[in-house]
Amino acid sequence: MAVTHVRIDNRLIHGQVAMLWKNYLDISHIIVSNNKVASDLIQTQIIKSIAPTGVKVSVLSTTACVEYCNCDESKDERILIILKHPEDGLELIEKGLAGLAEVTVGNQAADVNEGIKFRKGLYLSQNDIQILQSIHDKGIKLINQMVPNDSPIDFWNEIERKVPDWIR
């Protein structure tokens, strides 16, 4: 399967992703997918200019990301998809990203919205939780794992325990 890992991280490609996740998962292609970022020429240029060596980097709208990942051209790649916010994940699923089994929730900064703290570097609002619920309801497993050395955690289970009132 081409898509190896889907990660929600509002810092996009940064030290943890470029140095830790890329190597750990032996990634050949990192796709940053968020409509706003994809339409920002400056940010797209910066993201491409910092590509770690030996890896292809693309910045795509969610529609273009799904098209690419579902096509033959990508089938031999090991793709890491980086999303800015939970809604990007829901968009990929609704637009028909093939073969997706799980989504990992990484960094979401405290100041992005009025969220509650799940751990250092991960804050989610009620709206985020409901978007994650929609992802969960489509049969996608939600994982939390900040860095490869952390054990993966069943994140939906944690949400149910921590914020039961926020679930519809």
| Between 118 and 155, CB nearer to other proteins | 118
Stretch of 23-31, 40-48, 63-71, 129-137 contacting other proteins, by CB under 8 A: 40-48
Q: Residue 43, interface with other proteins (CB under 8 A)? A: yes
DSSP string computed for 64-125: HHHHHHTSGGGTTS-EEEEESSHHHHHHHHHTT-TT--EEEE--B-TTTTT-EEEETTEEE-
Q: Give Cα separations from 115 to 32, 49, 83, 105, 138 (angstroms).
A: 23, 32, 18, 14, 24
| Between 29 and 136, CB nearer to other proteins | 29
Distance of closest approach, residue 149 Cβ to other proteins, in angstroms: 16
Q: Residue 48, interface with other proteins (CB under 8 A)? A: no
Q: Residue 147, interface with other proteins (CB under 8 A)? A: no
The closest of 112, 119, 129 to 150, measured between CA atoms, is 119
Q: Residue 33, interface with other proteins (CB under 8 A)? A: no
Instruction: Return the structure tokens found at 148.
Output: 């490869």
Q: Residue 10, interface with other proteins (CB under 8 A)? A: yes
* Tokens 């491409």, residue located: 48
Query: What is the signed CA dihedral for 114, 117, 121, 124, rounded to 10 degrees?
Result: -50
Per-residue binding string, other proteins, 112-131, x by CB under 8 A, is x-------xx-x--------
Per-residue binding string, other proteins, 77-116, x by CB under 8 A, is --------------------------------xxxx----
Binding site for other proteins (CB under 8 A): 10-15, 18, 42-43, 45-47, 49-52, 109-112, 120-121, 123
